[in-house]
């Protein structure tokens, strides 16, 4: 059951687009709470609010926040005109959006006319922490002219506003737009499913490179199939169905204490060897010592199965990445570890970003007889 409690907002603490952090007097103490104005309407100090306190009562790892589900008072919270698609459907917090596919959408005609990605490079990741390294590498190699569009799945957090990474990427001009797919919401463009979400990235957001991954908060159960990261294989299939160029980010780590996650994550191997039915390009970053050999061996063994698609492994030089992180420590944090703790965890994503940038550059100059490859 949802644990609901009443409280009073004592002060506004911080805000970013789509999210307000407030302090609330609740259950005899002041605690932090998160407000999504798109769901509740605006909030101010002194407002009486209803909070979902389930996660804090259970001491779950949600950042120690309660969530405001309603703001009491006479303030109007009527939805904006246009659209009728509901996300978080049939829950007490269902929210109306105008999806790109709807008749009221200004992008309806463009989406109806778009039936192919026409070779659009699409980087498909699993962890939300892979997004920033991809964006940094794309900008480094492709420059300002390449529009990077994030397609956020509903495998993790559902509100786009929960992502501090997206906010920082926007501030630095590294991310042009975001598409939220399925029950994820809050993007510049809303889409019904993975196929229309990918087409929205191309036809509505005008992506030069698209990056697909879930929001923060991946779900795992230490079993083969009980993991939201397996969606990576499904997205690779969708990219290929629509005629895109699928680049799959390998999930790498040499700091994780769990044997199944060391080297190459078993979830990545399952997603690409058993869930994906179509091929992807997989970057193999240049690593130190025997690490690169370990990564390549695990990938080759997993993809040697006759049931696996013929994925293409591409060696990628990414020694540039450490320099890109100067002053951007926020861009390399994952599973409680930093770049210094576990470089491989971020270099796979950076390598995918470099490959995507080079594919984009090739598309800008198709007559070039000998484009440089990332491994050269």
Rounded Cα–Cα distance for residues 347 and 339 (Å): 9
Tell me, yes or no, whether 22 and 114 share the same domain. Answer: no
Residue 260 has pLDDT above 70, yes or no: no
Last residue of a domain, one of 71, 90, 117: 71
User: In three state form, how does the secondary structure of 284-348 look?
Assistant: EECCCCCHHHHHHHHHHHHHCCCCCCCCEEEEECCCCHHHHCCCCHHHCEECCEECCCCCHHHHH
CATH at 39: 2.40.50.220
**Element spanning 56, H or E:** helix 54-58
Share of residues in the chain with pLDDT > 70 (%): 93
Same-domain pairing of 54 and 123: no
Tens-place pLDDT, residues 210-231 = 999 999 998 888 898 999 999 9
Residue 376 — very low, low, confident or very high, per pLDDT cuts 50/70/90? very low
Residue 98 pLDDT greater than 80, yes or no? yes
Model pTM score: 0.93
376 is a domain residue: no
Domain boundary residue, one of 25, 48, 71: 71
Number of domains comprising the chain = 2
Residues 197 and 346 in one domain: yes
Q: Which residues of 67-95 are buried (b: 16+ CB within 10 A; e: fewer)?
A: bbbbbeeeeeeeeeeebebebbeeeeeeb
pLDDT in tens, 230-248: 999 999 999 999 999 999 9
Distance CA 202, CA 209 (A): 9
Q: Are residues 147 and 203 in the same domain?
A: yes
Judgement on whether residues 32 and 156 belong to the same structural domain of the protein:
no
369 band by pLDDT with thresholds 50, 70 and 90: low
Residues 140 and 9 in one domain: no
What is the pLDDT, as a whole number, of residue 367? 59
Q: Which domain holds residue 50?
A: 4-71
Question: Are 169 and 63 part of one and the same domain?
Answer: no
The secondary element (H helix, E strand) that includes residue 148 is strand 148-153
Instruction: For residue range 276-300, list pLDDT tens digits in order.
Output: 999 999 999 999 879 999 999 999 9
Over the stretch 60-76, which tens digit does the pLDDT of each residue have? Answer: 655 578 999 999 986 66
């Amino acid at each position: 059951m949802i644990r609901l409690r009443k409280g009073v907002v004592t002060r506004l603490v911080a805000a970013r687009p789509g999210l307000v952090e407030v302090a609330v007097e609740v259950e005899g103490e002041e605690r932090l709470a998160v407000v999504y104005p798109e769901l509740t309407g605006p909030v101010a100090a002194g407002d009486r609010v209803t909070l979902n306190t389930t996660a804090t009562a259970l001491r779950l790892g949600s950042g120690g926040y309660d969530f405001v589900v309603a703001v009491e008072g006479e303030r109007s919270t009527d939805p904006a005109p246009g659209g009728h698609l509901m996300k978080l459907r049939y829950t007490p917090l269902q929210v109306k959006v105008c999806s790109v596919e709807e008749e009221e959408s200004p992008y309806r005609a463009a989406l109806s006319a778009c039936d192919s990605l026409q070779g659009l490079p699409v980087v498909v990741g699993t962890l939300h922490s892979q997004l920033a390294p991809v964006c940094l590498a794309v900008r480094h190699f492709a420059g300002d002219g390449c529009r990077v569009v994030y397609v956020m799945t509903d495998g993790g957090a559902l509100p786009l506003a929960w992502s501090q990474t997206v906010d920082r990427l926007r501030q630095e001009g590294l991310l042009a737009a975001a598409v939220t797919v399925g029950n994820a919401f809050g993007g510049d463009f809303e889409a019904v499913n993975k196929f229309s979400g990918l087409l929205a990235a191309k036809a509505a957001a005008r992506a030069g490179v698209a990056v697909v991954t879930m929001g923060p908060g991946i779900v795992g159960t230490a079993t083969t199939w009980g993991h939201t990261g397996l969606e990576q294989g499904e997205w690779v299939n969708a990219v290929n169905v629509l005629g895109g160029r699928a680049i799959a980010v390998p999930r790498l780590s040499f700091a994780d204490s769990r044997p199944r996650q060391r080297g190459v994550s078993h979830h990545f191997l399952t997603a690409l060897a058993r869930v994906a039915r179509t091929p992807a390009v997989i970057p193999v970053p240049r690593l130190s010592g025997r690490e690169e050999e370990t990564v390549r061996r695990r990938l080759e063994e997993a993809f040697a199965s006759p049931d696996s698609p013929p994925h293409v492994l591409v060696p990628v030089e990414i020694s540039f990445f450490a320099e890109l992180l100067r002053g951007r420590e926020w861009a390399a944090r994952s599973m409680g570890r930093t770049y210094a703790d576990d470089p491989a965890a971020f270099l796979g994503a950076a390598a995918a970003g470099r490959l995507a940038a080079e594919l984009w550059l090739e598309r800008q100059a198709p007559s070039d007889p000998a484009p440089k490859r990332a491994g050269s």
